[in-house]
């Protein structure tokens, strides 16, 4: 007699339960071995011993998704290359397209500022209810301006890429008559960067990109967790660009800044094919050399671009210094941020070298308050701050007494062209190579 569905189901379930019990019984014989294995190797697990693993746990799901960003950026760039709209516009029209786009970015900044101000006032007793009622209007206007900017962005980016590429060709950076590598960038909200340094000296030992828009309290929470749980100095910093391909460029309303950062990230792309670029992460000194070289190239290329395509935006010449400084009523000199920061870095290095970690950290907080009082809103000044900003040594400041910047400037002054300079320093494989180049062009090492 055939079984009905209910009886068949009961038999199947019974057999399944018996099989599960059988497997569990067999697995139980291995449990003591598994426990013993864990106890033996546990000290070697990253979770127990590796600082980077613990930092990763603090970061959690806040990492920036580069794969998603690259996919979207490459698709947009492919469409722009195929369209090649800028080729049909004369130089004057191209200039106006870029300026129109940057004006939209300025309007976005203004609207965001007004919206932020309303949210800041929302918890205040005398909050302006009329302003809060205007919030939906501002948000709608912002959305419209965002749409207008997004429609214009691919063309504006393509034009700036061509303009920077033109400037690079004037300096000899060509292959078969074309700029190599091709200039490719995309303006976008950039990820934040978590920088970690030891407390007893300044060195960037760990960096992780975080998704855009993390609130200040969340940033503070992560920095504090690294400090308290891993005993390292940490700081979340904004960045202006990143050498992905296409390069990530922070949204801006400044044509000077846009041209400069586009050239900066292109320099990283060029160096990728040179020993200096290949060894970017070899040690802190190689990173400083790399970033400093890019910071020198970007200024020169920026000036060429602005002079050729946007002459109205050339920086005004620096005011001459009065020769008569004997007057007791003269205006005191303006606050010199770079000089003060360089002085701060030198003193921090002295204290850390003497083993006075707590004293150095107390001094940095004292100096942070000093900078804030003089109009520089530095949220946190610590070893990680200097580890990040000290890598850009083209100008004095957070680098303190680091000689890399001055040596590279001497080498640049001795080079017949920007191309010759980059070709030369691109061959640097270690700090000693830079020192040898410096001595070769008349540095004090020859004496």
- Give the range of the structural domain holding residue 443, as residue numbers without chain letter: 84-190+239-309+403-447
pLDDT digits over 413-432, tens only?
A: 999 999 999 999 999 999 99
Q: Is residue 51 situated within a structural domain? A: no
Q: Is residue 92 situated within a structural domain? A: yes
- Asked which of 8-22, 64-78, 104-118, 132-146 is least confident by mean pLDDT, the reply is 8-22
Q: Is residue 426 situated within a structural domain? A: yes
Q: pTM (2 decimals)?
A: 0.80
Rounded (5°) CA angle 123-235-68? 85
Q: Is residue 1 situated within a structural domain? A: no
User: Cα 70 to chain center, whole Å?
Assistant: 16
Q: Does the pLDDT of residue 113 top 80, yes or no? A: yes
User: Helix 91-121 crosses helix 284-309 at what angle (to 10 degrees)?
Assistant: 120
Per-residue model confidence (pLDDT) at position 133: 73
- Three-class secondary structure assignment of 368-428: HHHHHHCCCCCCCCCHHHHHHHCCCCCCCCCCCCCCHHHHHHHHHHHCCCHHHHHHHHCCC
pLDDT digits over 263-322, tens only?
A: 999 999 999 999 999 999 888 899 999 999 999 999 999 999 999 999 999 877 655 444
Q: Is residue 24 situated within a structural domain? A: no
Rounded (5°) CA angle 90-92-96? 115
Which DSSP symbol is given to 66?
H
DSSP strand pairing (192-197 vs 206-210): antiparallel
Q: Is residue 110 situated within a structural domain? A: yes
Per-residue model confidence (pLDDT) at position 71: 93
Measured between alpha carbons, how far is 362 from 382 in angstroms, rounded to an integer? 9
Q: Is residue 347 situated within a structural domain? A: no
Q: Is residue 374 situated within a structural domain? A: no
Which DSSP symbol is given to 329?
T
Q: Read off the tokens for 38.
A: 């864990």
| Number of domains present in the structure of the chain | 1
Measured between alpha carbons, how far is 260 from 297 in angstroms, rounded to an integer? 9
Mean pLDDT, the chain, integer: 85
């Amino acid at each position: 007699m055939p079984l009905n569905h209910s009886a068949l189901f009961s038999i199947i379930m019974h057999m399944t339960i018996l099989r599960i019990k059988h497997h569990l019984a067999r697995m139980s014989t291995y449990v003591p071995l598994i426990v013993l294995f864990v106890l033996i190797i546990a000290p070697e697990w990253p979770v127990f011993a590796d600082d980077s693993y613990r930092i990763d746990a603090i970061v959690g799901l806040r990492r920036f998704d580069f794969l998603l960003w690259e996919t979207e950026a490459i698709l947009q760039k492919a469409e722009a290359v195929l369209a090649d709209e800028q080729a049909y516009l004369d130089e004057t029209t191209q200039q106006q397209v870029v300026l129109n786009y940057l004006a939209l970015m300025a309007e976005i900044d203004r609207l965001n500022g007004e919206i932020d101000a309303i949210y800041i006032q929302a918890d205040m007793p005398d909050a302006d209810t009329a302003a809060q009622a205007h919030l939906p209007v501002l948000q709608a206007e912002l959305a419209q301006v965002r749409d207008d900017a997004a429609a214009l962005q691919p063309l504006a980016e393509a034009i700036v890429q061509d303009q920077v590429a033109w400037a690079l060709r004037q300096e000899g950076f060509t292959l078969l008559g074309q700029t190599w590598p091709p200039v490719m960038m995309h303006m976008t909200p950039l990820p934040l960067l978590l920088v970690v340094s030891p407390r007893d000296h300044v060195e960037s030992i760990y960096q992780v990109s975080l998704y855009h828009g993390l609130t200040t309290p969340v940033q503070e929470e992560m920095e504090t967790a690294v400090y308290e749980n891993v005993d390292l100095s940490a700081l979340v910093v904004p960045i202006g660009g990143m050498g992905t391909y296409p390069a990530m460029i922070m949204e801006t309303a400044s044509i000077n800044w846009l041209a400069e950062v586009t050239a900066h990230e292109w320099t990283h792309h060029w160096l990728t094919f040179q020993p200096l670029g290949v060894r970017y992460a070899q040690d802190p000194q190689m990173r400083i050399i790399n970033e400093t070289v890019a910071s020198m190239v970007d200024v020169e290329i920026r000036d060429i671009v602005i002079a050729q395509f946007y002459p109205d935006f050339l920086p005004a010449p620096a005011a001459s210094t009065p020769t008569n400084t004997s007057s007791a009523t003269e205006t005191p000199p303006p606050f010199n941020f770079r000089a003060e920061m360089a002085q701060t870095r030198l003193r921090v290095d002295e204290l850390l070298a003497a083993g006075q970690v707590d004293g150095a950290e107390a001094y940095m907080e004292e100096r942070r308050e000093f900078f804030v009082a003089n109009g520089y809103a530095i949220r946190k000044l610590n070893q990680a701050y200097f580890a990040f900003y000290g890598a850009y040594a083209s100008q004095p400041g957070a680098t303190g007494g680091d000689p890399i910047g001055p040596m590279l400037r001497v080498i640049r002054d001795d080079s017949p062209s920007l191309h010759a300079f980059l070709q030369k320093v691109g061959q640097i494989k270690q700090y000693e190579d830079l020192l040898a180049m410096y001595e070769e062009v008349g540095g004090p090492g020859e004496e």
